[in-house]
Amino acid sequence: MKEKKLDQIISKYGADPSEIMGILLDIQEQEKYLSKSALYYLAEKIDLPLTRIYKMATFYEVLNLKPTGRNQIHVCTGTACYVRGADAILNKLEQKLSIKSGEVTPDLNYGLKTVNCLGACALGPVVLVNGECFGNMSALKIETMLKAVQSSEKK
């Protein structure tokens, strides 16, 4: 990430160390992850030890230190979704994307993760793609879902 963009994010929060979470989330929104260079730059600019920033970045699951992919796919593996076939959906996605949960495709187009619950149990099994909920999913619907993601990218 360019220093100019980082400076804009930091100044939005008044370079206030107590606003570190908001700063980290905004950086991640721009970069799709928290790069080493961004963390080093941030530590210097807001006069906060790098170890403290790194602690936060590793503690909160929402923050990522590795690239996450342009399209984020989250498969709910909570009880309601699991008993309705979430494992088959996850297996199909892993096969189709040639990655395992927690990984990113080599082209950085897709990131795949499991989550414990998305709070949409009545729609289970649920897959969340870039914030869009795909309910009543099945392994057979994966192709259609991925095509919908690809077509939305082209817009």
Instruction: Compute the average pLDDT of residues 134-151.
Output: 93
Give, in order, the Cα–Cα distances in Å from 141 to each of 29, 99, 107: 29, 18, 23
Q: What is the pLDDT of residue 155?
A: 66
pLDDT of residue 153 exceeding 70, the answer is: yes
Nearest-5° Cα angle at 111, 107 to 115: 175
The whole-chain average pLDDT of the chain stands at 93
Number of other CB atoms surrounding residue 20 within 10 Å: 18
Write down the pTM of the prediction: 0.74
Pick from 8-12, 16-20, 61-65: least confident: 61-65
How would residue 16 be classed by pLDDT, with cut points 50, 70 and 90? very high
End-to-end CA distance of the chain: 25
Q: What is the pLDDT of residue 62?
A: 79
Q: What is the pLDDT of residue 131?
A: 86
Which H or E element spans position 39? helix 36-46
Span 91-125, pLDDT tens digits: 999 999 999 999 999 999 999 999 998 889 999 99
Strands (E), the chain: 71-76, 110-115, 127-129, 132-134
Q: Which amino acid is at 22?
A: G
Span 43-68, pLDDT tens digits: 999 999 999 999 999 988 778 998 88
Please report, rounded to a whole number, the percentage of residues in the chain having pLDDT higher than 70.
Answer: 99
User: What's the order of all strands across the beta sheet hosting 127-129?
Assistant: 110-115, 71-76, 127-129, 132-134
Q: What are phi and psi of 73, to 5 degrees?
A: -110, 120
The answer to whether 136 touches 125, Cβ cutoff 8 Å, is yes
pLDDT of residue 151 exceeding 90, the answer is: no
Q: How far apart are CA 69 and CA 47, in angstroms?
A: 30
Q: Which amino acid is at 147?
A: K
Identify the structural domains of the chain with CATH numbers, from first to last. 3-59 (no CATH), 71-154 (3.40.30.10)
The answer to whether 94 touches 52, Cβ cutoff 8 Å, is no
